[in-house]
């Protein structure tokens, strides 16, 4: 699939916001820990991606008890669903001047259409050294889910099952989807939110 940015202005993918709060000291401390001056752009992206994927738990996988949204809160609590984890990855990379946006898929929530659908969030990252965008899914791996860093063939968490009504949206948005943020901000029970309140459409 040919992915494409919502805006051709890369500055739109570097902005700080309430939920992409990369000036927060918690984020700044993590940047110092993750990155060294000699790291290349690609090395930084890989390190940030693998940190968010592997060291920040997906709330559903651990049956978590807290809903996180802001990047700094996700980092502090070390958990979040895909919407929250994509905020953190965006914050870590934008802080380093690496344009990072938001991508979405419409997936089966569980295993059959009867059990519903939900939006799934991942990130689009612009690599200046390659002059192109790539997509990365830091959702978190588990049996049956194996997303990897790749600058060639995408290795995302979920293959799209079009016959089951799933959709892979090609746009790289500069801001996280408003419905996803509202969902995180208006719920307190992460398990109930995941089962019943995730948005299905952009």
> Do residues 173 and 164 lie in contact, with contact meaning Cβ atoms separated by under 8 Å?
no
Q: Is residue 201 part of a domain?
A: no
Calpha distance 129→87 (Å, rounded): 23
Burial class (CB in 10 A: 0-12, 13-18, 19+), 169: middle
Burial class (CB in 10 A: 0-12, 13-18, 19+), 161: exposed
CA 69 to chain centre: 11
Which alpha helices (DSSP H) does 63-198 contain, by range? 71-77, 82-94, 178-186, 190-196
Q: Is residue 50 part of a domain?
A: yes
Q: Is residue 100 part of a domain?
A: yes
Per-residue model confidence (pLDDT) at position 80: 98
Number of domains the chain contains: 1
Per-residue model confidence (pLDDT) at position 95: 98
Per-residue model confidence (pLDDT) at position 25: 98
What is the CA angle 172-175-176, rounded to 5?
90
Q: Is residue 123 part of a domain?
A: yes
Per-residue model confidence (pLDDT) at position 115: 87
Q: Is residue 202 part of a domain?
A: no
Per-residue model confidence (pLDDT) at position 143: 93
Q: Is residue 53 part of a domain?
A: yes
Q: Is residue 104 part of a domain?
A: yes
> Tell me, what CATH number does 145's domain have?
3.10.620.30
Calpha distance 136→154 (Å, rounded): 8
What tens digit of pLDDT does each residue of 30-43 get? 999 999 999 999 99
Q: Is residue 142 part of a domain?
A: yes
Calpha distance 99→7 (Å, rounded): 11
Q: Which residues contact 12 (CB under 8 A, 6 or more apart)?
A: 6, 174
User: Whole domain around residue 92: which residue ranges?
Assistant: 4-196
What tens digit of pLDDT does each residue of 10-27 get? 999 999 999 999 999 999
- List, for the chain, all residue ranges whose pLDDT scores fall below the cut of 50: none
> Do residues 99 and 6 lie in contact, with contact meaning Cβ atoms separated by under 8 Å?
no
Q: What are phi and psi of 13, to 5 degrees?
A: -100, 15
Per-residue model confidence (pLDDT) at position 52: 98
């Amino acid at each position: 699939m040919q992915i494409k940015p919502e805006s051709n202005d890369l500055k739109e993918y570097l902005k700080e916001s309430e939920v992409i709060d990369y000036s927060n000291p918690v984020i700044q401390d993590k940047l110092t820990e993750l990155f060294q001056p000699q790291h290349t752009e690609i090395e930084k992206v890989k390190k940030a991606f693998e940190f968010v994927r592997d060291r920040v738990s997906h709330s559903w996988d651990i049956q978590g008890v807290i809903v996180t949204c802001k990047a700094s809160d996700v980092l502090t609590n070390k958990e979040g669903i895909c919407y929250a984890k994509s905020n953190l990855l965006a914050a870590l990379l934008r802080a380093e001047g690496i344009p990072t946006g938001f991508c979405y898929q419409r997936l089966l929530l569980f295993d059959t259409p009867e059990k519903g659908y939900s939006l799934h969030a991942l990130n689009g990252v612009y690599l200046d050294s390659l002059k192109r965008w790539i997509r990365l899914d830091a959702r978190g791996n588990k049996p049956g889910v194996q997303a990897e860093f790749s600058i060639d063939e995408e290795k995302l968490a979920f293959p799209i099952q079009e016959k089951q009504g799933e959709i892979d949206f090609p746009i790289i948005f500069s801001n996280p989807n408003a419905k996803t943020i509202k969902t995180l901000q208006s719920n307190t029970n992460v398990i109930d939110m995941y089962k019943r309140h995730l948005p299905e459409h952009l």
